[in-house]
A and B are shown apart, each in its own frame.
Chain A
């Protein structure tokens, strides 16, 4: 149990997906302009990460390793993720139309979000157990959502600030990410 807590805290705070591992930066800079869409995106990513971790763990441990074709994991993982995203999209569309519209464009975009393929590869290289993989995915997703939401709050205020013209938009967002990262450095030794 304590091992799972360590994985979870490590994923959320210490090895934060965005600020330390640099995974999922495209949505981070693209979507983080409004709080609402940032949270929708974060929840969608976390959901897909958890399901993808479950699916790829089963495939890796019951198909790839017994057949000794682990080197095929990149192709297999990306296909599994693409298929899962399609299935989840169809499922949500049939069952909860409101949720479907609130995810909007973000759901199909998740296929090419490096945090989803990233978590499956991290699970594979760290050789986490099934529960460890899912906890790592939830922690990674929560950390992603947390930083995305914080960033969107800051950027909403930033719209009103008097930023130098050449630093407007993306450059200042990078500087803020650096400062946020420095703040997260304080979580360093807690696990």
Chain B
């Protein structure tokens, strides 16, 4: 503002000065222009005055006069004076007060002189007529009778007065006066005489001459004394003096005018140059600004005070789909109608809002611009242009197309917090929720976590490929979602692991929910490419309470609960009990893993055999069947199968099982080649639950049998009851498939777990191995005895042969014989021996049988 003020004031002052000087110079011009006519007029007036004077004198001396010339001059002079007082000579009059004053005086003088002239004319005429009357008027006849004295008087009177009329000297005046009195006196005596009237006229003529003649000179003197010429001269000299002064002043004004004009010119040129410079600067600034506005990725729209668009950058054009030329002058709302996401109604024009409020308006959320290609979400900032001490010029709107940004951001947020496959929360986010529960515990709530491990997912993944696996996982997640209440959180925390968090739960929920989950999963059947898979899951439940310090502990607890459940066979449930022992066992088991793996790599497993002997009423017969037992050789020592739980825990059993099967087949093949006794012998091979549910394992068996040309009737597979029940469906499939190959099948450890006779019906096995726990004490404990008897009976009823384990002495054998159990196995019959050793001893025993002195007394036919 201040920067603008100074040049404005300077410019205005210069202009005022310039116009003042111009006005003054103009005035001088006018005065100059008027000078000629003023001088002309004054000269004319002077001439007129001169003529009037000469006319007056002339009139005096002419016998026959004509006043017209003088009167015309008189009239002209009055007109001249009137002209001096008229409009045309205003400047001249104003030139100096002296002039106006002299003109007024001049006019008065002219009036005064006119009166004098009138009297003068009157007197001149009177004298002239009196003179001619005196010369002409007196009839001679009337004087015939007159006295000589009277005649003499008349003659003297006439001569004297005529002389006086032409030369009014004092003596003549005195004589005239005397004669006038004499004639008047003489007239008294001629009262009735005919001379009276002519003489009276003569007397009166004389009186007129006497009176008027004296006046004429006096009047003429007065007329000539009146200073009209002097006044005109005075006016002229006064005017000329003034004019000279004006000339002088005007040269100053003119100089000032030139100087000021030059200054103004310089100022203007300077201003123009500056303006040009500024304009160029502004132009480039504008260019810069335009380019900048064009280049930035945000849409920019400016509006005027009426919210009509004045500018749009290309991004804004693209965004609104309207070109700037088309949009210019249009209202903002007509070009860009914004809607609220919440109300789905148009929002108020942000430009108008910001102009009315005078502040910046930000619309960063829930605004969209409907367009043919969908709704564009926008973030918009509207700010008034100008503001502050300046008046607002309009508004500028900066628009970001949130469409892409926001979707991207939302996607990222979603992706970072969700599992891409199933759309569930991922482990990280889920963990955060759990963590927040740990950090802000609420005693009123009882948060609970169910950890669901799908059983045999790797099988599905292997068979159906990753695509099938993905579909399977999705189906599972859908299934699980259906079970959740509103506040439950479901997450995929691992490849085939899901977790559910319920913040507010009842203690009873732990098992109820777990059972529901398991049932729901069990209900599922996954079909892929014609194959149908039954699905099971192992579920661990953790009650999240103050015992857990952090997230990892919770997950570890869940995992260990699942492990515990799995230990009890798959498709199981375990509620985690925070127990150090469990952890130490786990730790113990984990120590085995490298040893097991190394032993596999180095082939340090050894197969042992323990006989399964047929039981008769009088003891047992010579066995033709043995169970293959697994030992690990480590540093020359044979380690009993205490590593099996670890191998199961860490999913190493399928490998071990494969090794065992192929080893057994290899031994059998070798025995057949050698013609050894083993070829008529049958072997029970233990399989882990994992292997049974591993469909590839079946292929492996087929392949191995084919490779070694194994007589399948010599092979009997055993699985534990628990493993069979955990994977009942797959177990049944497996059993049937294996039996179809010609192998036999035995159900191990029957009665140890959650055994139920109902299962037996669906398991098409050849043998039922009664759990050793019952057998061990059956000789002394009637309950155990009864159980064994019952199992035996059920087995028989189902067409199965029974095998009793842990037969440690002959008494048990006797009992078994009584009950009618088909086979017995245990230290009472023999101890497990290495494969080769077993057959060497057996060969020796056969030899001893052929030679009775060497046969054992316990073995009877």
A, B: real partners? no
Q: Which residues of B contact A (CB under 8 A)?
A: none
Q: Which residues of A contact B (CB under 8 A)?
A: none
